[in-house]
Amino acid sequence: MEISPAIHDPQGQEKQQQAAGVGILLQIMMLVLSFVLGHVLRRHKFYYLPEASASLLIGLIVGGLANISNTETSIRTWFNFHDEFFFLFLLPPIIFQSGFSLQPKPFFSNFGAIVTFSVLGTFVASIVTGVLVYLGGVMFLMYRLPFVECLMFGSLISATDPVTVLSIFQELGSDVNLYALVFGESVLNDAMAISLYRTMSLVRSHSSGQNFFMVIVRFLETFVGSMSAGVGVGFTSALLFKYAGLDVDNLQNLECCLFVLFPYFSYMLAEGLSLSGIVSILFTGIVMKHYTYSNLSGNSQRFVSAFFHLISSLAETFVFIYMGFDIAMEKHSWSHVGFICFSILFIVIARAANVFGCGYLVNLARPAHRKIPMTHQKALWYSGLRGAMAFALALQSVHDLPEGHGQTIFTATTAIVVLTVLLIGGSTGTMLEALEVVGDSRDTALGDGFEVVNNRYMTSFDDEDSPSGSGFRTKLREFHKSAASFTELDRNYLTPFFTSHNGEYDDDVNNEISHEERIPFARRGNLNNRG
């Protein structure tokens, strides 16, 4: 151990330790307040201020109070935690939980659409945002950034986090396919946004002698490499738990200890390999939920679900409080206001390009009864809140970019997160009801596809198909088939190989997604009502 040089001022050290104690105390009190306030608001069905917004507001208020008080500097130091804390302790549980709480069945039955929205769509959104921000700079509408940095900003701001939208979906009851689409897209687009961001960042630092081909290779390296690392760790854990025979009653603690170490292992393995830990832990979450989880004993299953839900709730609430606090404490130069306003306009346009563009493509490939209705596309477009992931990448950009540029991106991102969470979060209930995609009418949740919904909304959409796209359409249908064949592969080879029960899952998959499908969601609603 490296012992830091002995400090011969025990009193000074004690004071410092005491100040740190008071800071953490304040943070805990804000956490408790957020949980209690969020609970009270939910209990009174006050959907204009979801929990995430409440946490943000608490942070804003405490930050504002600290800002006008005299003791500003000391309060500021209390909250001055290292970025390390954010990247090592706050972000991994949030991202793992988003992968871990994916319901495999609706996710895989919408796999093609989700991948289209989150891979192709996020790529489109990033480029559109980046180009618009660059043009805005060129036209002196906003702070001017170099093109590559615009693309970096475009990538990081494309990571969505519809936590409040999803919690209201669960509260009000929504179509499983819409839920899977919004949730699945938000989970996977994080991976895409990080990979794009890292690629752009690499392009920026080795700007000479890089051609377009190398950029693609870099991107695939990050995305596929991190994904493989995550999936590999997930599969390893599945095999370990399948054969170790730990699913007996009195080994629950050992089982859970090992289980909770794997995600972190995956995160650190990827970081050690210069890949993206976040992308890796996300895929580990998906794989561990789908395979490893079912090899656990019943008690441990309940425990690890509650465990990851608990720590991700704590981390997420903390991040929202922190973001609110941060934006209230920052010394803002008002030159950023233009940047923020135009950025918001541009991300709205970029998300429209993503959702409606990809929605059109997906509908080309899907059979008539399974097309994504316009209302669902609108709901997906509306769910473009920005959250912890965008914030984390913006924090990263402060280190990656020259001072002024990084700071501008960071301020803009924080502001966008706060505004989207407060505005979109507050209006979600109204919007979803206006779009008639939620509510207790069981009709909308029926069936494998959207039969009922289609009859109502989709007739006009069907007619839009132009015959000119038919060759392309065939290819898309093939892609759709390949997504379906992944389900086959999973059912016939992966599930039997990585889990201890073969029969059950098969039966489940063969059934159409039916009324029963709502039950796991109802259960999840209880466990996951903090997103």
Binding to a copy of itself, residues 298-357 (CB under 8 A): 299, 302-303, 306-307, 309-310, 313-314, 322, 326, 329-330
Tokens 């990081």 correspond to 156
Angle between helices 277-290 and 252-272 (to 10 degrees): 150
CB of 265 to a copy of itself, least distance (A): 5
Which range, of 260-268, 341-349, 352-360, 361-369, touches a copy of itself by CB under 8 A? 260-268
**By the rule CB under 8 A, 20 interacts with a copy of itself:** yes
CB of 524 to a copy of itself, least distance (A): 11
Give the three-state DSSP class for 160: strand
Residues 64-93 that bind a copy of itself (CB under 8 A): 76-77, 79-80, 83, 88
Handedness of CA 518, 519, 525, 527 (dihedral sign): negative
Tally DSSP H helices, then E strands, for the chain: 25, 0
**By the rule CB under 8 A, 256 interacts with a copy of itself:** yes
Tokens 């493509």 correspond to 361
Token pair listed for 220: 């695939």
Q: Which of 74, 205, 455, 482 binds a copy of itself (CB under 8 A)?
A: 205
At residue 257, what is the residue type? C
CA 309 to CA 29: how far, in whole Å? 20
DSSP code, position 438: B
Q: Which of 36, 65, 216, 224 binds a copy of itself (CB under 8 A)?
A: 36
Task: Identify whether the C-beta of residue 192 lies closer than 8 Å to the C-beta of residue 122.
Answer: yes
Tokens 């700079």 correspond to 137
CB of 444 to a copy of itself, least distance (A): 23
Tokens 């991202």 correspond to 95
**By the rule CB under 8 A, 208 interacts with a copy of itself:** no
DSSP code, position 5: P
Query: How many Cβ atoms sit within 10 Å of the Cβ of residue 281?
Result: 35
Token pair listed for 446: 């029926």
Residues 444-503 that bind a copy of itself (CB under 8 A): none
Residues 230-249 that bind a copy of itself (CB under 8 A): 249
Closest of 165, 129, 86 to residue 391, by C-alpha: 86
**By the rule CB under 8 A, 32 interacts with a copy of itself:** yes
Q: Which of 146, 357, 496, 525 binds a copy of itself (CB under 8 A)?
A: 525
Give the nearer residue to a copy of itself in terms of CB position, either 246 or 286: 246
Give the nearer residue to a copy of itself in terms of CB position, either 61 or 398: 398
Give the nearer residue to a copy of itself in terms of CB position, either 29 or 224: 29
Give 506's Cβ-side CA count (13 Å radius): 9
**By the rule CB under 8 A, 519 interacts with a copy of itself:** no
Closest of 282, 281, 283 to residue 265, by C-alpha: 281
Give the three-state DSSP class for 236: helix
Give the nearer residue to a copy of itself in terms of CB position, either 319 or 476: 319
Give the nearer residue to a copy of itself in terms of CB position, either 318 or 498: 318
Give how many residues touch a copy of itself by CB under 8 A. 82
Q: Which of 71, 403, 464, 468 binds a copy of itself (CB under 8 A)?
A: 403
33-40 contact pairs (CB < 8 A, 24+): 33/58, 34/58, 34/317, 34/320, 34/321, 35/317, 38/317, 38/530
CB of 171 to a copy of itself, least distance (A): 11
Token pair listed for 414: 């924080």
In terms of C-beta density within 10 A (0-12 exposed, 13-18 middle, 19 or more buried), how is residue 368 classed? middle
**By the rule CB under 8 A, 45 interacts with a copy of itself:** no
Give the nearer residue to a copy of itself in terms of CB position, either 325 or 382: 325
CB of 404 to a copy of itself, least distance (A): 9
Give the nearer residue to a copy of itself in terms of CB position, either 407 or 487: 407
**By the rule CB under 8 A, 258 interacts with a copy of itself:** yes
Which range, of 4-12, 149-157, 339-347, 480-488, touches a copy of itself by CB under 8 A? 4-12
Q: Which of 141, 231, 251, 341 binds a copy of itself (CB under 8 A)?
A: 251
Token pair listed for 24: 């953490």
Q: Which of 72, 272, 335, 472 binds a copy of itself (CB under 8 A)?
A: 272
Cβ neighbours for 307, distance < 8 A, ≥ 6 positions apart: 256, 260
CB of 390 to a copy of itself, least distance (A): 15
CA 151 to CA 129: how far, in whole Å? 7
Give the nearer residue to a copy of itself in terms of CB position, either 297 or 487: 297
